[in-house]
Amino acid sequence: MASFYFLLLVLVGGTTTAYGAELCTDFYSCSCPKLLPIVKKGVAKAIQKEPRMGASILRLHFHDCFVNGCDASILLDDTRNFIGEQTAAANNQSARGFNVINNIKASVEKECPKVVSCADILALAARDSVVYLGGPSWEVGLGRRDSTTASRIDANNSIPAPFLSLTALTNNFANQGLSVTDLVALSGAHTIGLAQCKNFRAHIYNDSNVDPSYRKFLQSKCPRSGNDNTLEPLDHQTPIHFDNLYFQNLVSKKALLHSDQELFNGSSTDKLVRKYAANTAAFFEDFAKGMVKMSNIKPLTGSKGQIRINCGKVN
């Protein structure tokens, strides 16, 4: 069955090599033909060492794309000229995986110097992470270039927070050209990974739509004050396997975050949540489509931006 899903979603993810007007899947076929296996190997090595890393890389790509497009701005360290995105509220002491991307970039530089952007490496690594953990594949359009600046203010204004309402989440995704279906499907990325106590405390103490036994368990881990950085899995059943149990958790009122439970709370998105909870193939298909759309948000192409040699700093 897994092979069926994989085949289905390779086809759904992109039957053409063109994305937008300028990205294409074979962008490096001549200039860096070994790129894809290098990235895949680097991702596999990182997840084997720490299974949580797959979710961290996927989140890094998401947080990159939602702030002025998929341009690897999140990877830039602060400079005299700007305060970057790494200390924004959604990233500070929680965004991780920078070292994995840097290591892959170093391997790519040895093979084809000054050719492949950090933004493309991050997009490929996010896809490879999902596949490694049992999720769908999709064809990644390539040809992005890297930004020469970053903005903490823009990150704070653009990355959706865990306390947002469904209306606010819908508007946030719409601002990126993403639909309600994209919102629900891409939220399924929370089938993997962990969240900090400070990000789910309000949900387990203030919201009424939480399963009582799950609430009691979480409150034992996350008190009303203290333990801010205590981690709990976003999907309490299979936190390192990419599947549809996240949606089953929503139906059971066992979402870790307020923003997740908002997707199943007597609103218009309930139907989609039930669909994905019952049908892994449907979820995988829409997730793959959503990732293609998200990874094509406002890329820098042509002569815009640059190809960074070191992902953490401008050339």
Tell which wins on pLDDT, 5 or 40.
40
**Cα distances (angstroms) measured from residue 117 to each of 93, 98, 160:** 25, 15, 26
Q: What percent of the chain has pLDDT over 70?
A: 93
Q: What are phi and psi of 146, to 5 degrees?
A: -95, 145
Strand partners, 300: 145
> Could you say which DSSP state residue 141 is in?
P
pLDDT at residue 19 is higher than 90: no
190 labelled ligand-binding: yes
The C-alpha atoms of residue 125 and residue 133 are separated, in whole angstroms, by 12
- The tokens for 54 are 């797959």
Q: How high is the pLDDT of residue 22?
A: 82
pLDDT in tens, 231-275: 999 999 999 999 999 999 999 999 999 999 999 999 999 999 999
pLDDT at residue 14 is higher than 50: no
146 labelled ligand-binding: no
- The answer to whether residues 193 and 239 touch, using CB atoms and an 8 Å cutoff, is yes
pLDDT in tens, 30-43: 999 999 999 999 99
87 labelled ligand-binding: no
Q: How high is the pLDDT of residue 202?
A: 98
pLDDT at residue 63 is higher than 90: yes
Mean pLDDT of the region 71-82: 96
Tell which wins on pLDDT, 10 or 130.
130
Outline where the chain has alpha helix (H).
Answer: 2-13, 35-49, 53-65, 98-111, 118-132, 152-158, 166-174, 180-187, 197-206, 212-221, 245-251, 258-261, 270-278, 280-294
243 labelled ligand-binding: yes
**Three-state SS for 306?**
strand
- The answer to whether residues 138 and 15 touch, using CB atoms and an 8 Å cutoff, is no
pLDDT in tens, 176-210: 999 999 999 999 999 999 999 999 999 999 999 99
Q: How high is the pLDDT of residue 21?
A: 54
Catalytic machinery residues: 63
The C-alpha atoms of residue 131 and residue 128 are separated, in whole angstroms, by 5
Question: For the chain, what is the mean pLDDT?
Answer: 94
pLDDT at residue 215 is higher than 60: yes
299 labelled ligand-binding: no
69 labelled ligand-binding: yes
